[in-house]
Structure 1
Amino acid sequence: MTLEEVGRSVWWGWGDPARAGSVPATALRRLRDELSLSEVHRPPVALADLSLPAPRWTPATRDAVTALLGADHVLTDPRARMEHAGGKSYLDLLRARTGETAYAPDAVLLPADGEQIAGVLALAAEHGFTVIPYGGGTSVVGGLTASDPRPHLSLDLRRLAGLVALDEVSGTATFGAGTRAIDAERALRERGWTLGHYPQSYQQASIGGFVATRSAGQSSSGYGRIDDMVLAARAVTPAGEVAFGERSPATAAGPRLLDLVVGNEGACAVITQATLRVHRAPSATRHAAYAFPSFEAAAAALREMVQTLGHDGQPDVTRVSDADETRVSLMLAGRAGRVLGSYLRGRRMPDASLMILLWHDSSDAAAAARAKRATPILRAHGAVALPARIARGWEHGRFRAPYLRDELMTRGVFVETLETATTWSNLPRLYAVVRQAISTALASLDTSGIVQCHISHVYHSGASLYFTYLAREADDPAEQWRAVKAAASSAIVAAEGTITHHHAVGRDHRDYLEEEIGEVGARILRAVKAELDPHDVLNPGVLIPPVS
């Protein structure tokens, strides 16, 4: 997409349009052969070609909101409305590409503080509109897609941004919820600190979004998930402001009410501020790459590392690709990938699984010492050491995958991801069942494809599984997505995995949540929603299981 096209179009893709990439020609040819693709190139719809309906709010509602926020902070122009019409799920991107305007908010609001947010929520109850909190706009599970017939306003938190306080004695940092992750990390690095949280959405997502969705990052094996890092949070609910966790790093004073805010997905509260545990920024990184004869052998090596080396000894970044993901990764790497593929076949590893490991530490010597402790475990499971530059190359391009998805969609490829997690003992079963469910669903639609998987988050008792699947786009790609998503989600539930490890629940997973938390758990969530948001104005339809 050229810069001129960006100027004329809604930015339908991921992150920064200047970073949009392309698929290598050789890889595209191989994908066309393997997926039976036709020659397709579908650019996004131009902004000038969109016809948005007029905002559905009444003049009284418009005037009340404008009086509260100021005219400059109430946006109704087509670009603002379309860019807040959803997140970055497959269906969101598909709708934006084709110019579907039905999900556009009636207006985009830019509050300055919690008091203005409280005012907006009060007006929503009084005037009968709904409010969807908006951080970085990176939800991939329908978390930002309106599903209520009432007029809805997008509450963009960009003005609640910045580093509020850094407590270098306690090792904590407080940020406004609208702070972009990349800006938060920059502010910390300037002071010699790091949050250490790098999910795929890092370049675009916000701190409040991380907290609201229980995000996990690529370095979570070392630094932990965001819910491990959150020590306190402030939020505004229709019932009033709440602040949890600010008195102490730990307490025995009843259930952890902070978790009513963490993971609430904007269904019960609008997060305005979060206090997080931070670390001294590392000075050195040790990179390593290995090939294993099978995905099972690589997973076994990961399990032994995490269970025997402990938190201080295990890598900060762990990633293992199964045979199909390794093959596709080598395909996309061009000549270097072909050379490595030949080498692995020469080592009698035609179905090799690639492992990437990174250790962050205060010095080269300290990082190297931690890496050395892992070497005997890796070798015992059949690992073959590969050049460290492979791991460095992965680190350099680790935020590229969503941009690649955009380009593949342009080329007529149906490409989607989903993730889950389970115990080590159940991991092989879950992997096989979900993989088969996706393959069978694609084949039933006459769009047989490639199903690949990797492990990127490990724990003492288990690990995550992250699936990516590609196929030829069907005549009705939205129905194609629904069929495969339903098959995969049902398989996850049946095989006793979590319906979501780090993508959140949103609308896409909501109907499967009760299988995981039980009927009583669903009633608890509905009771919390009713208490904090009695008029159901906050992001209705997300997270909370409906009454059966």
Structure 2
Amino acid sequence: MCNTVLVSDSIDHTLRGSWTQSGAGSARLSAHAVRWLRQRTGIGAETTPAVPSSLVDVPESALPSAARADLVELLGQEHVLTEPAQRLGRAGGMSYSDLIRRRGGHDVAVPDGVAVPADPEQVQLVLELCVRHDLAVVAFGGGTSVVGGVGALRGDKVAVLVLDLARLSRLISVDPVAHVAVLQAGTRAPEAEELLAAHGFTLGHFPQSFERATIGGFAATRSAGQASSGYGRFESMVEGVRLATPAGEWRLGTAPASAAGPDLRQLAIGSEGTLGVITEVAVRVRPVPVETRYEAVVLDGWQAGAEAVRALAQSRALADVTRLSDEDESEVQFELSGAAKSRALRTLLRTRRIAEPCLLVLGWHAATRQELDERRERTFRALRRFRSVGLGRRVGESWRDNRFSGPRQRDTLLDLGACVETLETATYWSGISELRSSVRAALLRNLEVDGRRPVVMCHISHAYETGASLYFTVMGLRDGQDPLGQWDRAKRAATEAIADSEHATGRGTITHHHAVGTDHRPWLREEIGGLGVEVLAAVKRTVDPTGVLNPGKLIP
């Protein structure tokens, strides 16, 4: 709820140290917000700028000369990159730990080389070349992973090569009758929306990583967008995939539904580059909405808010965007909106006897005004039994206009000495409050520094008839002596609370939409069982016999 952020489709995907080139300058916090953060958490007492890229320690490339020569012959000199700055630009993702390493200039896992293929055929040939030369290969799209999914890990290979898919950015086809489009995997989300809009369609997939993320990345990680209540999670949009694997090319998906054995598309979706490199994705698209409306209401307390969202989900009255913030997240949003607005809003809520304000943002996309009005009426009819205060369209539209501002605000907070990061899970409605309490307690307990407790925020943004996701954001004082250890301990404690072995199936999933990567890999066995891990390992041995694909990720 700071200044309106315009979505940019021109962010350099090789920019690793911040979300945009201007870093903290792209989302300056107001003086009131900085004072409030300092009083509440201790953040902002001193600035902690990042070291320049030129001072980041980049080791010499270990790419064998014979492998480099073969890559140059295949792709051309300009598409085989080994200079330090070029390799550093594809080093890791955008997690707090990634950014802290980059800001400090040390312990950054840098690839030995970068290959930039032009099409799916070249991707296939690069993988075969990597097998011959025993090179690990990491597929790289927007580089937005926050779980270590694109870290340049070598494993037991002689070197690690990043496969940058930026040149695979075409819209291959649109079927206007079936509403199916085929996009190359390196197409960034804003580009995909622009290409589809020319045909009157939208994908409707808008995660917070929208500006940088790619179509292939969405598929490889089972992404979920802010409007998933209406458009669905990304895997529900996928009609087919094309993969390059060391064992050969693999095409999956021939019809809208099939009983021809297990749906093998689901092996590719969520495989995180460990079973193949996704080169094309066929997706279900929808007509661009003619009418949209965003507004907000405030409910009294988390329990009532969660019950309200459950009522919406189970009566099929969810808005396309349905996002419930708990008391802490609501407080932060109110304070970041400015002192005057915050005071006025609190006065209003007190007069309406709202003791624990929880902000609920609702957004509808529709083909006609009548459809929008009918859906909105259905939503508010389901909310009537809950005590609430309507805040109207201004607050809802403010959220819409600023929904991609989080990564920019993080750059500002990092400069102010903050530990700021996210994690997420999902569970059934019957356990939603217990899970929130357990994770929240673990984070509070492990992130306290010098007696200053962090702010731990939580929201529901993906609701289902049976349950919902929980998305946590933490803002606290960074441990200057051990910033990586501070977050690692907190993340481990939170994940242990989620995967609690005392519960037969754990309290929730280790990840709802961030994927597994390296961060969640130690707990995958607890979620899918030892036999499940063996099944994944057997598939990997079939499609990747020598283990060149994304070592150290997903499969324990």
TM-score, length basis structure 1: 0.94
| CA displacement, residues 363-404 of structure 1 (integer Å, 9 cap, x when unaligned) | 223212211122232121112111211000000000001111
Change (3 A) 1:16 1:215: farther
1:510 aligned onto 2:521: yes
Q: Is the 8 A contact 1:10 1:82 kept in 2?
A: no
1:292 aligned counterpart, secondary structure: strand
Deviations 1:116-147 (A, max 9, x none): 22222222222222110001111010001123
Please tell me whether residue 532 in structure 1 is matched to residue 543 in structure 2: yes
The alpha-carbon distance between structure 1 residues 257 and 94, as it changes in their structure 2 partners (threshold 3 A), is: same
* Correspondences of 1:44-63 after superposition (within 5 Å): 44-63=50-69
Matching residue of 1:496: 507
How far 1:302 sits from its partner (Å)?
1.1
Q: Select 1:184's aligned residue among 169, 175, 192.
A: 192
Aligned partner letter, 1:374: T
Alpha-carbon displacement from aligned partner over 1:9-33 (angstroms, at most 9, x marks no partner): 9651125647821122111111111
With 100-109 and 252-261 compared, the bigger mean Cα shift is at 100-109
Match status 1:418 vs 2:426? no
**Which of 398-407 and 442-451 deviates more?**
442-451
Alpha-carbon separation, structure 1, partners of 2:491 and 2:353: 36
Deviation at 1:342, TM superposition (A): 2.4
State the match for 2:244 in structure 1: 236
Per mean C-alpha deviation after superposition, the further-off stretch among 466-475 and 10-19 is 10-19
Q: Residues of 1 paired with 2:44 and 2:302: CA distance? A: 32
- 1:175 aligns with 183
Q: 1:40 and 1:79 mapped to 2: Cα distance?
A: 29
Q: Could you give the per-residue CA deviations for residues 44-76 of structure 1, whole angstroms, max 9, x where no partner exists?
A: 222333342221112112111111111010112
**Letter paired with 1:266:** G
What secondary structure, in the 3-state scheme, does the structure 1 residue paired with 2:45 have?
A: coil
Does structure 1 residue 317 correspond to structure 2 residue 325? no
In 1, distance between residues paired with 2:44 and 2:304?
38
Structure 1 segment 133-148 matched on structure 2, within 5 A: 133-148=139-154
Matched-pair contact (CA < 8 Å) for 2:16–2:91: no
Give the AA of the match of 2:45.
E
Which residue does the alignment assign to 2:73? Answer: 67
Q: Determine what percentage of the aligned residue pairs are the same residue.
A: 44
Write the mapping of 1:461-480 to structure 2, written as runs, cut at 5 A.
461-474=466-479, 475-480=481-486
After superposition, the C-alpha distances for 1:75-121 in whole angstroms (9 at most, x for unaligned) are 12232211211010111111111122641111111011222222222
Given that 1:233 and 1:261 are in contact with CA atoms closer than 8 Å, whether structure 2 keeps it comes out as yes
Contact persistence 1:178–1:207 (CA under 8 A): yes
- Residue 148 (structure 1) shift: 3.0
Determine which of 193, 200, 213 is the counterpart of 2:201.
Answer: 193
Which whole-Å deviations, capped at 9, do the CAs of 1:463-503 have from their partners, x for residues lacking one?
Answer: 10000111110021000011000000000111520000010
Alignment of 1:279-298 (within 5 A): 279-298=286-305
Contact kept, 8 Å, 2:294 with 2:400, in 1: the verdict is: no
Does 1:23 find its partner at 2:29?
Answer: yes
Q: CA deviation at 1:259?
A: 1.1
Amino acid at match of 1:239: A
- Quick check: 161-170 or 55-64, which moved more? 55-64
Cα distance in 2 for partners of 1:511, 1:51 equals 28
Matched residue, 2:377: 372
Give 1:289 deviation, angstroms. 0.8
Question: Does 2:548 correspond to 1:544?
Answer: no
- State the match for 1:261 in structure 2: 268
Partner of 2:400: 395
Distance (whole Å) between structure 2 residues aligned to residue 323 and residue 261 of structure 1:
38
Give the secondary structure class of the aligned counterpart of 1:528.
Answer: helix
Letter in 2 for 1:347: R
User: Counterpart of 2:412?
Assistant: 407
Q: Alignment partner for residue 123 of structure 2, among 117, 120, 128?
A: 117
* 1:395-425: CA deviation from partner (whole Å, max 9, x where unpaired): 0000001111111011101011000001111
C-alpha displacement at 1:38, in angstroms? 5.4
Q: 1:54 to 1:315 in 2, by over 3 A?
A: same
Question: Hey, what does 2:109 align to over in structure 1?
Answer: 103
> One-letter code of the match for 1:459?
Y
What's the C-alpha RMSD, in Å, of the aligned pairs? 1.8
- 1:3 is aligned to none
Q: Which residue of 1 aligns with 2:5?
A: none
Query: TM-score w.r.t. structure 2 length?
Result: 0.93
Q: 2:363 aligns with which of 358, 364, 382?
A: 358
Q: Which residue of 2 aligns with 1:165?
A: 173
- Residue pair 1:86, 1:92 contacting (<8 A) in 2 also: yes
Which runs of no fewer than 5 residues in structure 1 stay unpaired?
A: 1-5
2:503 is matched with none
Q: Tell me, what secondary structure is at the counterpart of 1:537?
A: coil
